[in-house]
Chains A and B, each alone.
Chain A
Amino acid sequence: MPSNDVIALTGVNKTYPLGRLRVRALTDVNLTIGRGDFIALAGPSGSGKTTLLNLIGCLDKPDAKPDDGRIAVDGVDITRIPLHRLAALRRNTLGFVFQTFNLIPVLTAYENVEYPLLLQNVPRRDRDARVRRWLDETGIGKQAKQRPDQLSGGQRQRVAIARAMVSEPKLVLADEPTANLDSDTAAHILDLLAEINTRTGCTFVFSTHDPSLIARAERVVRIRDGRIEARQQTADSGQQVREESAVGCLLSAVQEVA
């Protein structure tokens, strides 16, 4: 894999059992994502974008393996490494931002952001500096001692972004990061993500239906019926995605494999 690629998928196929049948979720996916990219995975519900995101994030089942093909994350072929190394890869190389924020409710904003650094055994002083820095950079420094239930949706997502960034990952995967936010808050979150991407050079990959997020992406990877349909810049992608969303549910039937 060229050193400039953070992700490289080659000939990836993935099926899931559904009762006595198997449904095809991804078909012959080939994709490379470079360092510093700001990419949207777009497609209707059931198109396979979450499956793709889960495979890249080493989250898909214990072994994280596709049926066929190869997935390299930061040069590591994740289809060939044991479980504990997958956990280490997620810990050190990846950051996650979830649609529902997924903060640990019993921890304060500070402690939530601190958690990934504890997993990395970062010394206390360095840990504290990095946590405070990211809380400030995401604009949540004043709420450091508050727990998630004392924060608004936008504030929670800012904490989640700080938590994803504090371990200085090479790649942040975000699954519908603005879906649970109002449009103003979503815009602010998008501004924040774009600003972090520009400043840190960290790669961001989103799965989204949100036209405004797609409009902000440097590159859009469209998925339909488990296949990558097109790759294009964002010039007119907003309108196109709105159309996809309207008919997406009808067209997104997964293929059954005999």
Chain B
Amino acid sequence: MIIKLALRNILRNGRRSAITLTVIVFGAVGLILFGGYKTRTFFALRESTIHGRIGHMQIFKEGYAKSQSQKPLDHALDDAAAIRKEIERDPRVKMTAAQITLMGLVSNGDKSETFIATAVEPPKDRAMNNQRTTAGSDLPDNEPDTVLVGKGLAESMHVKPGDYLTIMTTTTTGSLNAMDVRVAGIFMTGVKEFDERAIKMPIAGAQQLLQTKKIEKLLVFLNNTDDTAAAHQAISAHVHGIEIKEWSELAPFYHQVVALYNGIFGFLGIIVFAIVVFSVANTILMSVFERTREIGTLMAMGTTRGRLRAMFVAEGVGIGVLGGVLGLAIGALLALLINKGNVMLPPPPGYTVGYRLQIMLQPPVLIAAFLVSFVTATISSIVPALKASRMKIVDALGHI
């Protein structure tokens, strides 16, 4: 009877209930769309960070993090091949990729610029799919003296595919070394500051330049990001003399974005919460005032104050459930339409390319949106319910 009464009383003043439901639906839709956008952004940023740059884990020589070396590759992996073999036995591991990072000067004969080079294994690097080659081709497999040049650096140096550059750096023994390289292509990552200094070269070329056979680190790529902790544990148990860092430790930007978005999402949630609370409380409070005599009658017939409270809270619950369900349906529909709509967003700060607006409909977001609607509507019915249950019967019966 409580539920029946609650539903009928919600429908009793249809227009007012509709306005309240609209507020709740707007709130739920807002939470779903922003939450879905946030989830999608986190997911995309995480996966692009992992697959494009840092891998799920990075393997260094033990003591790498604490080393204060002045020379390149002082703390490098000596026997990378054996370590790779052991790591790649784990079925969760998709691949490993060797990398060296080096810095130096690049010159076209007329002009020199500083560069930061990432030395990679070309086939593995192509599999990472972390860049867009805007001119020329990717790094060839067996040509150590080729490079890809970042778009900003290429513009600065006035080079195009097929041109030659000279790169110079300090070797592992501390002397200077230089080599001429052919520009195979121009690439961009979208991060302007990086593209103005970036060079990518084959690891064989970097080893030749640095005069070493060592590598700085191994990037480990897994089939599933969720397996990171388990794979970390397994590798630690089987391979000794190494230091492992997970992607989470190597991606401060990801965590900054997550913190920023969570702050915004939390603030938005508080605003939605406040709007829904006031709206539903107003609706039910109006209903209490209008039904004062009815409340008196119910109490006169022996309805306990607890049951009366339950009746009004049930109305809040009813409005919350209805609003939440409608909000979920409309929010999900809008998310699908947006995802199909191919809406492009402008580049974020520090980036040069925009990205497609996508809403990821994950259960946690949907559940959170529903719970916010449901819980806030329920909470906001408590004060009116208490007010109704504290009425004096005679006064309520005499109310006009």
Give the segment of B144-152, B181-189, B242-250, B389-397 that binds chain A.
B389-397
Docked CA distance A98–B12 (Å): 23
Residue of B nearest to A62 (CB): B392
Chain A interface size band reads: 20 to 34
Could you tell me the distance in whole angstroms from the C-beta of A177 to the nearest C-beta in chain B?
A: 14
What are 15 inter-chain pairs, A to B, with CB distance below 8 A? Answer: A59-B397, A60-B394, A87-B299, A89-B302, A91-B303, A96-B301, A98-B397, A100-B293, A102-B293, A102-B294, A102-B297, A104-B298, A106-B9, A116-B301, A119-B302
Q: Beyond A62-B392, A107-B8, is A102–B397 a contact (Cβ under 8 Å)?
A: yes
Residue of B nearest to A163 (CB): B301
Partner of A57, one of B1, B4, B300: B300
Q: Contact between B302 and A106 (Cβ–Cβ < 8 Å)?
A: no
Q: Beyond A92-B302, A116-B302, is A54–B394 a contact (Cβ under 8 Å)?
A: yes
Contact with A along B270-313 (1 / 0, CB 8 A): 00000000000000000000000110111111111101000000
Instruction: Determine whether A132 belongs to the interface, using a CB cutoff of 8 Å to chain B.
Output: no
Besides the known contacts A54-B394, A87-B303, A96-B297, 11 further A-B residue pairs in the complex with CB atoms under 8 A apart: A59-B393, A59-B394, A61-B392, A62-B392, A94-B302, A102-B293, A102-B294, A105-B12, A105-B294, A106-B9, A116-B302
Docked CA distance A62–B299 (Å): 11
Contact with A along B1-38 (1 / 0, CB 8 A): 10011001101100000000000000000000000000
Q: Contact between A59 and B300 (Cβ–Cβ < 8 Å)?
A: yes
Instruction: Determine whether A122 belongs to the interface, using a CB cutoff of 8 Å to chain B.
Output: no
Instruction: Determine whether A118 belongs to the interface, using a CB cutoff of 8 Å to chain B.
Output: yes
Residue of A nearest to B301 (CB): A116
Instruction: Determine whether A227 belongs to the interface, using a CB cutoff of 8 Å to chain B.
Output: no
Could you tell me the distance in whole angstroms from the C-beta of A54 to the nearest C-beta in chain B?
A: 5
Residues of chain B contacted by A106 (CB below 8 angstroms): 5, 8-9, 11-12
Q: Beyond A59-B394, A61-B392, A105-B12, is A88–B300 a contact (Cβ under 8 Å)?
A: no
Residue of B nearest to A61 (CB): B392
Could you tell me the distance in whole angstroms from the C-beta of A140 to the nearest C-beta in chain B?
A: 18
Contact with B along A81-112 (1 / 0, CB 8 A): 00110011111101010101010111100010
Residue of B nearest to A59 (CB): B393
Residues of chain B contacted by A98 (CB below 8 angstroms): 297, 397
Residues of chain A contacted by B393 (CB below 8 angstroms): 59-61
Docked CA distance A163–B302 (Å): 12
Q: Contact between B298 and A88 (Cβ–Cβ < 8 Å)?
A: no
Q: List the 4 closest A-B pairs by CB distance, nearest first.
A: A91-B302, A106-B8, A102-B297, A90-B302
Partner of A91, one of B294, B301, B397: B301
Q: Contact between A84 and B304 (Cβ–Cβ < 8 Å)?
A: yes
Docked CA distance A89–B302 (Å): 7
Could you tell me the distance in whole angstroms from the C-beta of A167 to the nearest C-beta in chain B?
A: 8
Could you tell me the distance in whole angstroms from the C-beta of B134 to the nearest C-beta in chain A?
A: 68
Residue of A nearest to B400 (CB): A100
Docked CA distance A106–B8 (Å): 6
Docked CA distance A242–B384 (Å): 44
Docked CA distance A23–B103 (Å): 97
Residue of B nearest to A114 (CB): B1
Residue of A nearest to B393 (CB): A59
Docked CA distance A92–B304 (Å): 13
Q: Contact between A119 and B294 (Cβ–Cβ < 8 Å)?
A: no
Query: Which of B187-230 touch A at CB < 8 Å?
Result: none
Residues of chain B contacted by A90 (CB below 8 angstroms): 300-302
Could you tell me the distance in whole angstroms from the C-beta of B75 to the nearest C-beta in chain A?
A: 77
| B296, B299, B302, B303 interface centre (most CB from chain A within 10 Å) | B302
Docked CA distance A83–B389 (Å): 12
Q: Contact between A107 and B301 (Cβ–Cβ < 8 Å)?
A: no
Residues of chain B contacted by A111 (CB below 8 angstroms): 1, 4
Residues of chain A contacted by B11 (CB below 8 angstroms): 106
Docked CA distance A84–B294 (Å): 19
Residues of chain B contacted by A118 (CB below 8 angstroms): 1
Q: Contact between B5 and A96 (Cβ–Cβ < 8 Å)?
A: no
Residues of chain B contacted by A102 (CB below 8 angstroms): 293-294, 296-297, 397
Could you tell me the distance in whole angstroms from the C-beta of A50 to the nearest C-beta in chain B?
A: 9
Docked CA distance A91–B298 (Å): 10
Residue of B nearest to A92 (CB): B302
